[in-house]
Amino acid sequence: MTSCPGDDAAIKATGRDWAAWFSDLDGWAVELDHKSIAAALRDQGVSGWWAQTIANAWEQARGRREKHEMPDGFQATASKTIAAPPGAVWKEVSTGAFREWAPTGWIEVTTAHPNKTLRGSWNSGGRVAIYLTEKPGGKTQIAVNHEKISDAGTCEIMKAAWRGALKNLKGRLE
């Protein structure tokens, strides 16, 4: 099976386990695209997050979608909570210091909201969005979404690279 929440979580949130969901979708979703499947699940009362999760898991299990595949390419994600305020993390994200801890490459910034978000094109392909969320105790969660990656292999490389980069950033700031 694909990597998705366990049966207990699915039952708690939706009232059904994965086998029941997959059997159900096998009966009516075969001819539908992802967006239509998720919409139909929402129409059945499934929350938005769970509708996406169920649709993704079923599509992966049936060979219609690879792990981390989105309609417009692949998406690598990473996050880390760092014992530093958003301003300190923002300085590392939005200045030349970025090149000291981040994966090899750079972002051509298109949107920046200080201490919150930074978005732009990644030099070797795709788009990167970095989100900062203030946490209690002077901490900050940083989340990176590298989207529109061309293939699964590059996605896995970038996922590992961003995880390593956030570990490096945590080491710099703590």
DSSP letters spanning 1-58 = --S---HHHHHHHHSS-HHHHHHHHHHH-TT--HHHHHHHHHHTT--HHHHHHHHHHH
pLDDT at 105 over 90: no
pLDDT at 70 over 80: no
Question: What is the rounded CA–CA span in Å between residue 55 and residue 37?
Answer: 6
Question: What is the rounded CA–CA span in Å between residue 111 and residue 117?
Answer: 8
CATH 3.30.530.20 fits 70-173, yes or no: yes
pLDDT at 3 over 60: no
Q: Using an 8 Å Cβ cutoff, are 131 and 115 in contact?
A: no
pTM above 0.75, yes or no: no
- The whole-number average pLDDT for the span 88-109 is 92
Question: What is the rounded CA–CA span in Å between residue 16 and residue 100?
Answer: 47
Instruction: Give the residue extent of every domain in the chain.
Output: 7-65, 70-173
Q: Model confidence over 120-171: pLDDT tens digits?
A: 999 988 999 999 999 999 999 999 999 999 888 898 899 999 999 999 999 9
Phi, then psi, of 111 in degrees rounded to 5: -145, 135
